Amino acid sequence: MSSAYIGRLAPSPTGALHLGNARTFMIAWLRARSQGGRLVFRMEDLDHPRDKPGAAAAAVEDLKWLGFDWDEAFVQSERKDLYRDALERLHAAGCVYPCTCSRKDVENAQSAPHAGEQLFYPGTCRGRFASWAEAADAIAPRTPCWRFRVPDGTVVRFDDVFAGPFEQDVSRTLGDFPVARDAFGAGYTLAVAVDDALMGVTEVVRGDDLLAATPAQILLYRALGYEPPAFCHVPLVVGTDGRRLAKRHGDTRIASYRAAGRTPEQLLGQLAATCGWGDGSPVSLRDLLPRFTLETIPHAPAVWTDPAALPAMS
């Protein structure tokens, strides 16, 4: 049973890999390998305005340097036909419709100040256009997007392996969420659901910044006729100010530690200590296998206590 486990490592090439990313990947890798499971590597490079040239190759180099391996590798930008097929299936099933609203329109339609990244969409364009072409004509030269219809009272519940029971009424939090930014260009949410299903991923281990985006993904799995995987959302690494690890906390890029002469074992030892797997002494990924357990990982974000660039490693 356990060897049927398939996990994944899915970096986005939007910047250099830092300690926070490495910690999440370390947990995902150990979770799969400690039960004899397989791992797919997936480069999530569909976010063109934010993707940085060279970041994809650099992420692979950083991960290999740290000792990560995987059984198969995929690049999302080479899989657009699959996302287009999925979009066509959703369209044929009446699950999506074209929307001509600009970001400003959607922002103006918010009834309450919005905290998260995704805006609530009140369904303005539902039933408004008979076809994509009609919507496209109406706002040329701008391009409509495709939105997924979320009927009132669509409550999604799932039991997160790490975070526990989670419930969200998607019709109230997101409304009809976008699945493609133009006629065929699948966005992140759709691509992830299609890929996890086609790659046979049985469990998604990732940062808990994506916990609230999971119910929308689950709706897509269901609409496409796929069984959703299990989800295991782990806390992010934050600085001493409680904010997500970023440039302001100093240089925590893996490549910078490597350039400064740190070893993978030093970094992994420190990260493992934040998971309750040892005292911070240097250790390889493989040597962590027998220590791996989700039980000791704190539910609060991991605080990187020395925010100065390149803190001293033991």
Q: Rule CB under 5 A: which residues touch Zn ion?
A: 99, 101, 124-125
Name the residue nearer to Zn ion (CB basis): 129 or 231: 129
Name the residue nearer to ligand GLU (CB basis): 188 or 257: 188
Backbone angles phi, psi at 20, to 5 degrees: -60, -45
Is residue 233 at the binding interface for ligand GLU, with CB under 6 A as the rule? no
- CA quadruple 195, 164, 270, 257: dihedral sign: positive
**DSSP summary character for residue 297:** S
Chain centre to alpha carbon of residue 280: 28
Q: Segment near ligand GLU (CB under 6 A), from 5-13, 219-227, 252-260, 285-293? A: 5-13
Name the residue nearer to Zn ion (CB basis): 138 or 199: 138
44 binds, among ligand GLU, Zn ion, none (CB under 5 to 8 A by kind): ligand GLU
The two structure tokens encoding residue 42: 């997936």
**DSSP summary character for residue 244:** B
- Please check whether residue 95 is in contact with residue 148, taking contact to mean a CB–CB distance below 8 angstroms: yes
Chain centre to alpha carbon of residue 301: 17
Q: Segment near ligand GLU (CB under 6 A), from 9-17, 124-132, 268-276, 287-295? A: 9-17
Among 11, 20, 175, 229, binds ligand GLU (CB under 6 A): 11
Is residue 51 at the binding interface for ligand GLU, with CB under 6 A as the rule? no
Name the residue nearer to Zn ion (CB basis): 35 or 124: 124
Is residue 145 at the binding interface for ligand GLU, with CB under 6 A as the rule? no
Is residue 208 at the binding interface for ligand GLU, with CB under 6 A as the rule? no
The two structure tokens encoding residue 242: 């409680």
What number of other Cβ atoms are within 10 A of residue 165's Cβ?
A: 8
- Please check whether residue 183 is in contact with residue 131, taking contact to mean a CB–CB distance below 8 angstroms: no
The two structure tokens encoding residue 149: 């219809």
Minimum distance, C-beta of residue 162 to ligand GLU, in the bound complex (Å): 14
Nearest Cα residue to 303 out of 9, 10, 20: 20
Q: Segment near ligand GLU (CB under 6 A), from 6-14, 63-71, 281-289, 297-305? A: 6-14
Q: Return residues touching ligand GLU (CB under 6 A).
A: 10-12, 44, 192, 206, 210
